[in-house]
Amino acid sequence: MRRSGPIKVLIVDDSALVRSILTRVLSAAQDICVVGGANDPFEARDLIIQHRPDVIILDIEMPRMNGLTFLRKLMVHYPVPVIMCSSVAPASSQAALDAIAAGAIDVVSKPTGGGSLAWRALAEDLVEKVRAAAVSMPTVPRGGLSSSARPTSFREAGIDPDRCLVVIGASTGGTEAIKTMLSNVPADFPPTAIVQHMPEGFTQSFAGRLNRFSPLTVTEAAQGDLLVAGRAFLARGGIQMMLRASAGQIRIQYGTQEPVNRHCPSVDVLFDSATRVVGRQIIGILLTGMGDDGARGLLALRKAGALTIGQDRNSCVVYGMPKVAFEIGAVQHQAPPAEIPKLILKCLASRAKAAAE
């Protein structure tokens, strides 16, 4: 998306202190201009008419009307990219995920401690999310394909899913992309490990949401979890997740809390660990998101013989990570999330046939 001038941002939060801090944080970026701050959605309505913001940062809990209700009204009358600003309380994190399903682009969590260092970390994250939101494609909330569109069973197709391994990385827009993809897999889909850039405290709720929509059993990954067919494991926020292979088994291993590519967890960390898994057919998938996390890891997977897939431009909220991966030669196939399961089965069947000839 081409644009001229700074990104106009409206902050909607009932805390004057939070509005002040976020205004100061965002205004430090030369390409961002905060055009106003509103105490509640009713004040926001007037400021939207006045300033026509490019991005809105929206609190969850506010007086007179909560953020989720306002977002749903906003998507009908003024469909602008929205970043939810939430606490990490379970109810708030669930509401933030509901907001993403309703059309919000992304979510950030307000610091509960850590003083100025915590707010500085939020600043760096928020500035990048505003930039990503400003170039994002409009989203229309929708479900995945019906179960009748799911590919046939892997075992019925003559492919042992336990001899395969799927690794997925995503960022902005990824929550709905992952949900769509996992809604369209068969129940005997290969063991799957997922990194979605998401604040600590939100991943358990997100895993629960995925579990409700997918034939797979989806959980937030725990140290030592065994990867088997029919299960998917979502990396916990705030810590690096890797795969550890031993005696023919693959287990989850958590590492440091140091960011890689500015992210924790990082897609590259997961993908790099998957290159060391032997005896499995690896499938690497990079979905929507800003930046380049996962691109180099996907290239390493392709060089190691993995099947590599990137989300196509038209279905991405932000065609950033998959675009970089495609440009450096890491991507063999591109497809929308709903079509990826069928593509995987088709490619694996083709590889098996070629190997048998």
Residue 357, CA distances (Å) to 48, 51, 148, 350 in order: 63, 65, 32, 11
Active site residue 188: no
What the block records as the tokens of 320 is 């950033």
∠ CA 344-195-72, rounded to 5°: 95
Q: Which residues contact 75 (CB under 8 A, 6 or more apart)?
A: 102, 103, 141
Q: Give the CA-trace dihedral at 238, 207, 226, 289, to 10 degrees.
A: -60
Active-site residue identified among 171, 205, 214, 315: 171
128-153 residues labelled b (16+ CB within 10 A) or e (exposed): bbbbbbbbbbebeeeebeeeeebbee
Q: What is the DSSP string of 219-277?
A: EE--TTPBP-TTEEEEPPTTS-EEEEEETTEEEEEE-----BTTBSS-HHHHHHHHTT-
How far is residue 328's CA from residue 169's CA, in Å, rounded to a whole number? 17
Active site residue 293: yes
Active site residue 197: yes
Q: What residue has token string 């590889």?
A: 351
Active-site residue identified among 87, 293, 312, 315: 293
Active-site residue identified among 183, 197, 214, 268: 197
Assess contact for 96 and 84: CB atoms under 8 A: yes
Q: What is the DSSP letter of 188?
A: T
What the block records as the tokens of 24 is 């100061």
Task: Please list the active-site residues.
Answer: 171, 197, 293
